[in-house]
Structure 1
Amino acid sequence: MSYALYYWTGLQGRGEFVRLCLEDAGATYTDVARVEGNEAMTSFLEGQHEGALPFAPPFLTSGHLVIAQVANILQYLGPRHDLVPESESRRLYAHQLQLTVSDIVAEAHDTHHPVSTAQYYEDQRDEAKKRAKDFREQRIPKYLGYFEKALERGGGRFVLHQHSYVDLSLFQLMAGLEYAFPKAMAKQELPLLRDLARRVADRPNIAAYLASDRRVPFNTTGIFRHYPELDG
């Protein structure tokens, strides 16, 4: 099965959650914009195509299907690559957890763009400092404490008692927060999440991907950005 992934070039962003799933599964896919440029997404975003209309990247094409939104894409890929349990209750729980990952990812983005995505970070620095302080002190502990508890309920090694796309997303979430907020993250007691992140990074396909040039480094154009003044 071959896929086409559409996401902006030059950054990990939300597309990285999908890439990790495809890479772990050993799936054949084309990262279209990296080959053809960001203009390759225009016809889809303007509705000049068959199938569903995506609001924004990332979106994935599989045959005649056009699938947008990270949690929706992963819900589609999971059963096809043994990255989610078979039971309906487990699949619903996986989707719930993934939607919660999407929530904290959005809040992480808003630490550096709390006023408007149309303005530069430098134009909203004072507001960003206030937003980031609340994110560090209140939201990071609340979200990661929830995921730590979910891991404990899953047996300690996997959030769903077996390896799943949610584990891959938790790895990416931890990596992004460690990059953006190293001081704040150093204060968090998260033994199960840290162990999960290490084990995901050691999975053969993921380790090969992380060592390759396909893994774009974190930078100040993505969702997870390191501005020292926002890390307290």
Structure 2
Amino acid sequence: MSIVSVSNLEKSYGGLRALKGISFQIEEGEIFGLIGPNGAGKSTTLKILATLIPPDRGKAEVMGHDVVKEPEKVRKLISYLPEEAGAYKNLTGREYLRFMAGLYSQATGKDADEMLELGIGIANLGVRLDDKVSTYSKGMTRKLLLARALMVVPKLVILDEPTSGLDVVNAHEIRELIKGFSRERGVSVLVSGHNMLEVEFLCDRVAIINRGTIVEMGRPEELKEKYSSKNLEEVFVKTSRRGFYG
């Protein structure tokens, strides 16, 4: 079953064409990666699916609901974590999760206490959960934010560069957390990234995007075999050399 369906999506900012008619689908329980360099169109795609900005042309649906015509229905099905998201620094981690669980409960009708308990488990911050967010490292803050995004158990989690700026250990923990949650709960995940080696380890399928165009799509192993490459980074280089990018 397709959770996400994107067809011929276009978006421009003035004279800049950010998306040039991209199409893809995400299946139930799948971790799908949108990978490419900065400025490729990744964040624009995620923002459209999160109902934050409208496309100029084309169509995007989440579980059959149009992101433009039915944004309220879509928002009840998704959770979105932008790259530069922050938490309320004057609250403790526990207070932040409790506050967000209350908001989600009002919007979705789900039990706030259950969400809070799940969020605490996902964050796994131990005694630091009762310290103010202002004292957290970047890795701790990212875990807290990811817990906020996952604790509502949405049909689709949208994560924009979830490990951006993290060290190797924290990035590994975040990747394992995302993968484990998706497998355990059957939640679909759309994740963007420019670190192709990292996304390769996380995703079931990937779409390589550059200059607003998807130039390749498939399972990492399939793409590596197709291009006789050791990793997706090499696939990217080879597709660019073969003139996919204008």
User: Same fold judged by TM-score > 0.5?
Assistant: no
Which structure shows the higher strand fraction?
2
With normalisation by structure 1, the TM-score equals 0.32
Larger RCO, structures 1/2 (Cα 8 Å, 6+ apart): 2
